[in-house]
Structures are given as structure tokens and as C-alpha cells.
């Protein structure tokens, strides 16, 4: 334990300067974590790094289990299953075939296929965080695909962790894993709220209870002789709950996740063995060939397969492309499987090093592809590589016939709902453009017109009959979306939203009629609320009651239901 703490201390001493550089120049942090790991790996013992990597991945998987929101992926789960297993079958098969062609054993080729086929939930989710893409079509699809693949990966971890393909050991391992998952759902349903009630208002006691639960599940996995990653995943499922109800707990867990994410990327860098430097010429060439095959499969073939499947299912080409760019990295589960294979002797050092090297490369390239995803999509679309598909928009949308002189409302959040209410009060025809499929049923129930589609795509606006619209009101705080709306060349007046005053001014100069600035409006509202209090026209109790009534009126019904 002392050695592990020393290793963690070394890692963070090395990481600090790299993070300062990344933050100073607004650069992706993943490459800097990996670079820091390369330096730390020259100091930390390799066996200790391997052990740290296993614990780091297990704790990350726990945090992923905590974050699973089944309602968020339910709307696209069927399509995601097809895309996820399409990836596994096509890319996995190519990985196995190419591995055998390059001279590795069939067993090792299977590990290569697994590494190429599975995508990283941790990397994909981290890259989506803070982006409006988290709750739009491509965000839902990416998370759902990763969820399906992670369930498949859990089974692979159990099967390959048995160290044999004999029926009884494999069935035993899978049985233990299934028992832990079932126990997790039971704990989540019947025990977690009891812990919450016993803890009262103490976030510290809740966090202590969750850590204890994690230790119990990981200990149970160790006792059963299966991977601790399975125990950690089960513990996450046991804790999975509504964040609103346990806000302090989940804020604390989010901070822990950031810590483990850093550990994960650094250990990937620390495990890298450099060709031509630390190993001989022949071994270096073999390693680079295998790693190159894995990188091409992961960065090129896998996104291409995903995009093709989703377009075939009727998704717009932009949503399909952005979804695929969230799957262009080697999975943390593939690394767990590779480490297991190395420890039991099923995987040679050279093949293991190739998988680690490919994982580090793809995690760096994935952070870059996410940063330039729009440019990548525009390049592919402009060259005619991506065919058009509108099946899902047509299937999910409902637009009144002969709609004209109407209001196009982009986004059905709180502002969008208020705009819909106003249009209905004054008898103004309208249509809502919403890109979150999870909101589709709610919008259909409450609105007379809806287009479930990407506001960045022209067909969405054609579906909304925007050419005949009276005004377009965007409630989405996204400069790319606002710029895209202005570029459509519509005759309708444009009312947009911006996060700051300088962006708002540039949008008005570009042709917008009006641009709301959230921070500015919030300040003005605060002055209107406080001024009557200062002038003694309103008592503190009346102000508090007035604000509470206002919030009760504005809160979304779905959110209100969660609070019950």
C-alpha cells in the first residue's frame, strides 16, 4: 500500500507542470496526461504501474456505473445495439484476421480483435461532458453504444478471466458476475435509500457508505476469483440514483472521478514501451505493425462502420458522424482484458505492448478528433463521402400541413416551454425543433408541431418549413448553432441566445434581430427582485414566497417528478 501511495504521489508531481501548460494554452489534457505518464513510467516500477492501472480502471468503471442513466439511452437503445454489435463483429473479425496474417497466435489475435472492437466509455463520456452534445441525438447514441459494449465487455472479462474455455470454469465465473449484478440492483432498489435516511443530511456519511459498498463489492469479486472491475461496476450500479436527491454525494463522486481519470491516462503513458529505444529492432517492427493495425481499425474503420450503420438506420449524416467520432479509441475494458491475458500468460509482452501503445495513440487522437469534429464532418460531407439520410427525422417529427407565418422555436427547455405557452395563448402557429430524442414524447404530448432533428442540418429546417416562417427563436446557448441559423438565408427574423456580450454583439452584426445574454438577463432580474425589498415595498418573507411560487410554476414536470 505504501508503494502505491508513493507511485500516486510521483504521478501527481509529474502531472502538475503538464496540466499548467495545457490550461495556459487551452489544449486538450489527454495528451499531456499520457506524456506525464511516460515520464512517471521511467521512475515507477512496471509491476506497480500494472497494479495501479488495474485499480484505476476499476474505480473508473465504478464511476461509470454510478452515472448510468437508463432513461437517457432508452430512446435509441435498439439502434445502438445494432451499431454496437456491428462494430464488434466487423472490427473484431478484421482484428483477428489481420493479427493472424501478421503472425500472432489465434489466441493473441482474439485479444487484438477485442482491443479494436470495443470503445472507451470513460474517454467518450469525458469528451462529451460540458457540451450540449451530451443530450442531443449523437450524445444519446454514443452513450448508448458504449453502454451496450460495456455490458458485452463485462462478459468477456469474466470469460477470458477464467483462463480456460472449459465449460464449468467459464459458467462459474459468469454466474458469479451475474450474481453480483443482481445483488447490485437489489441493493439499489431496497438498501440505498435506507442508507440515505440513516445518513440524514450528512454528505460525509453518504460518501462513507458508498465507499464501504464499493469495498464490499470489490471484496466479493476478489473472493469469488473474478476481476475486481466486475465488482466495481456492480458497486456503481448499486449506487446509481437520481443526482438531485443526493446532490452532495454525487458532487463528491464527480470530483473522485476526475482524480481517477487522471490516474487512468497517466498509467497508460507509464505502461508504454518505446520501440527502438527499450526493445530491439525486430520486436520494435512487430510491435509497430500490430499497433498500426489497431490504430487504423480503431480510428478509421470503426467510425466508418458506425457511421454506415447509423445512416442505414435513417439517422442524419452529421449525427451519425459525430456519434462515430466518440467511439474512435481503445476501451478501458480492452486494457483490463489485456492485463488479465498478460498475467495468465495468454498474451505475450510484444502483443500487450502493441495494445497499450495503440490505446495511448487512439486516446490522444480521439481528443483531437472531438475538438475538430465539425471540421471533419464538413470535409467528409462536402466531398460527397457521406450519403444523406432523413428517415429518423421523418419518423420522429409531426408538423401540421400547410404551416406558414409561424414561429420556429429551437430547443424545448424552460425558455422553449414558455415560448410555446405564449404562442398558444395568442393563437400563433409554431413548430419546435428539438434534438434530444428523450424529450420527444414530452414535446409531442404538449406541442402541436415538432421536428426532432439537428439544427445544424438544412433538412431539419426544411421539415419545419422555415422558408415560410415569421420568426425564428433559438433558446440554445451555442454559437455554432446560432451561426448556422444565420447562414441559412431565411427571410424570417432571427432571435438568438449567447453566453456573453461580445458574442451577442457579433451575432447582431451578422444579422440577428435580437440576442439574449443569460448572464445579463439574470443580473437585470436580480435587480428587479431586490429593489422592492430595498424600498420596503416587499418584506423578506414575501420575496421568498414569491420566488418559491415562481420556481414551482417554472419547474419542468419531468424534473418535478424526480424530486418526489
* pLDDT single digits (tens) 223-271: 998 989 899 999 988 988 766 667 677 777 777 777 778 888 888 888 8
Q: How far is 361 from 357, CA to CA, in rounded Å? A: 6
CA distances to 10, 167, 185, 210, 321 from 368, in Å: 27, 43, 37, 35, 15
Cell 454528505 identifies what position? 203
Does the pLDDT value for residue 420 go beyond 80?
yes
Residue 248 has a CB neighbour count (10 Å cut-off) of: 13
Between 551 and 289, the more confident residue is 289
* 0.85 surpassed by pTM: no
Percent of all residues in the chain with a pLDDT value above 90, rounded to a whole number: 33
Residue 399 backbone dihedrals phi, psi, to 5 degrees = -120, 130
Across the chain, what does the average pLDDT equal? 84
pLDDT for res 367: 82
Residue 427 has a CB neighbour count (10 Å cut-off) of: 6
Q: 552: exposed, middle or buried (C-beta count within 10 Å: 0-12, 13-18, 19+)? A: exposed
pLDDT for res 550: 63
Q: 528: exposed, middle or buried (C-beta count within 10 Å: 0-12, 13-18, 19+)? A: exposed
Residues forming beta bridges with residue 507, ordered by sequence position: none
Q: At 70, is the pLDDT very low, low, confident or very high (cuts 50, 70, 90)?
A: low
pLDDT for res 559: 37
pLDDT for res 56: 81
Does the pLDDT value for residue 561 go beyond 50?
no
Amino acid at each position: 500500500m505504501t508503494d502505491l501511495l508513493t507511485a500516486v504521489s510521483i504521478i501527481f508531481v509529474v502531472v502538475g507542470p503538464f496540466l499548467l501548460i495545457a490550461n495556459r494554452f487551452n489544449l486538450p489534457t489527454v495528451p499531456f496526461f499520457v506524456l506525464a505518464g511516460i515520464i512517471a513510467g521511467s521512475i515507477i516500477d512496471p509491476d506497480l504501474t500494472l497494479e495501479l492501472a488495474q485499480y484505476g480502471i476499476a474505480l473508473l468503471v465504478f464511476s461509470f456505473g454510478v452515472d448510468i442513466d437508463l432513461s437517457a439511452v432508452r430512446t435509441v437503445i435498439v439502434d445502438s445495439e445494432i451499431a454496437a454489435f456491428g462494430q464488434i463483429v466487423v472490427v473484431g473479425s478484421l482484428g483477428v484476421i489481420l493479427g493472424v496474417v501478421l503472425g500472432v497466435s489465434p489466441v493473441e489475435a482474439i485479444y487484438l480483435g477485442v482491443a479494436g472492437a470495443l470503445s472507451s466509455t470513460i474517454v467518450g463520456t469525458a469528451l462529451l461532458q460540458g457540451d450540449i452534445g451530451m443530450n442531443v441525438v449523437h450524445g444519446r447514441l454514443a452513450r448508448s453504444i458504449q453502454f451496450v459494449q460495456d455490458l458485452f465487455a463485462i462478459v468477456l472479462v469474466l470469460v477470458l478471466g477464467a483462463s480456460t474455455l472449459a465449460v464449468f470454469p467459464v459458467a462459474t465465473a459468469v454466474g458469479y458476475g451475474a450474481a453480483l449484478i443482481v445483488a447490485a440492483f437489489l441493493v439499489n432498489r431496497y438498501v440505498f435509500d435506507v442508507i440515505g435516511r440513516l445518513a440524514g443530511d450528512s454528505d460525509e456519511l453518504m460518501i462513507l457508505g458508498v465507499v464501504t459498498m464499493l469495498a464490499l463489492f470489490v471484496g466479493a469479486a476478489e473472493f469469488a476469483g473474478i476481476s475486481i472491475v466486475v465488482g466495481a461496476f456492480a458497486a456503481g450500479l448499486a449506487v446509481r440514483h437520481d443526482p438531485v436527491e443526493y446532490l452532495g454525494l454525487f458532487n463528491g463522486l464527480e470530483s473522485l472521478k476526475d482524480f481517477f481519470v487522471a490516474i487512468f491516462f497517466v498509467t497508460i503513458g507509464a505502461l508504454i514501451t518505446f520501440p527502438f529505444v527499450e526493445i530491439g529492432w525486430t520486436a520494435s517492427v512487430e510491435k509497430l505493425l500490430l499497433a498500426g493495425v489497431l490504430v487504423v481499425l480503431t480510428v478509421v474503420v470503426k467510425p466508418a462502420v458506425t457511421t454506415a450503420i447509423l445512416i442505414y438506420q435513417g439517422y442524419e449524416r452529421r449525427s451519425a458522424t459525430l456519434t462515430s467520432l466518440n467511439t474512435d479509441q481503445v476501451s478501458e475494458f480492452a486494457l483490463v482484458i489485456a492485463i488479465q491475458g498478460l498475467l495468465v500468460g495468454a498474451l505475450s509482452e510484444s502483443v500487450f505492448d502493441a495494445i497499450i501503445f495503440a490505446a495511448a495513440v487512439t486516446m490522444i487522437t480521439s481528443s483531437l478528433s472531438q475538438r475538430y469534429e465539425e471540421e471533419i464532418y464538413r470535409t467528409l460531407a462536402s466531398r460527397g463521402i457521406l450519403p444523406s439520410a432523413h428517415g429518423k427525422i421523418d419518423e420522429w417529427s409531426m408538423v401540421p400541413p400547410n404551416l406558414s407565418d409561424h414561429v420556429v422555436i429551437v430547443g424545448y427547455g424552460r425558455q422553449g416551454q414558455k415560448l410555446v405557452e405564449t404562442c398558444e395563448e395568442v393563437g400563433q402557429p409554431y413548430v419546435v425543433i428539438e434534438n434530444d430524442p428523450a424529450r420527444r414524447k414530452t414535446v409531442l404530448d404538449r406541442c402541436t408541431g415538432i421536428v426532432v432533428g439537428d439544427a445544424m442540418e438544412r433538412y431539419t429546417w426544411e421539415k419545419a418549413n422555415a422558408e415560410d416562417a415569421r420568426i425564428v427563436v433559438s433558446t440554445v446557448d451555442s454559437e455554432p448553432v446560432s451561426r448556422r441559423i444565420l447562414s441559412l438565408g431565411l427571410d424570417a427574423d432571427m432571435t438568438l441566445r449567447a453566453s456573453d456580450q461580445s458574442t451577442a454583439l457579433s451575432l447582431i452584426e451578422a444579422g440577428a434581430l435580437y440576442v439574449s445574454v443569460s448572464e445579463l438577463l439574470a443580473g437585470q432580474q436580480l435587480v428587479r427582485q431586490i429593489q422592492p425589498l430595498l424600498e420596503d415595498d416587499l418584506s423578506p418573507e414575501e420575496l421568498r414566497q414569491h420566488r418559491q411560487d415562481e420556481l414551482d410554476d417554472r419547474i419542468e414536470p419531468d424534473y418535478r417528478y424526480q424530486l418526489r
